[in-house]
Structure 1
């Protein structure tokens, strides 16, 4: 599932630079996550980076957008086609993921 930012967002911008997919952008009132660019950091971290840095804990899983680890790693690969290290880890099925804790 993609992560979403709730209305509790204080617009601190801590999350934006942490996203490996550049899925987080400043919206009209709060920061927003593009669900088509969010891989929940699968392939990059064993946690969701935005969630880890959010001071008000408003980066939460979106229950309306549930996705499997396979979908998320494939999204990461499609968003980073030139990342040979990510491809190598995915091919070896040895990549960071919150699903593997």
Structure 2
């Protein structure tokens, strides 16, 4: 039996805490791109599904672009896997949802 090599994965515990906190904040300003809304519609998801995934999921990738884009993996309200690419601003607080998958 061949042994599988596993690449070390980044640990985004701090970022996961930030996205969960901001998403759970009742004062959070939510920004939804057209693309995110289209993907939500295609996947038959509603805003509450995405908010639930962000409040309970974990950050597994950060891409440095115009905004730092955080990929969050979680589950929707029905328990189905749900991914979200978003930009988080802890100071305002706000979340820009770029896409869902």
Q: TM tier, shorter chain?
A: under 0.3
TM-score by length of 2: 0.26
TM-score by length of 1: 0.26
Q: Which has the larger radius of gyration?
A: 2
Which structure has greater strand proportion?
Answer: 2
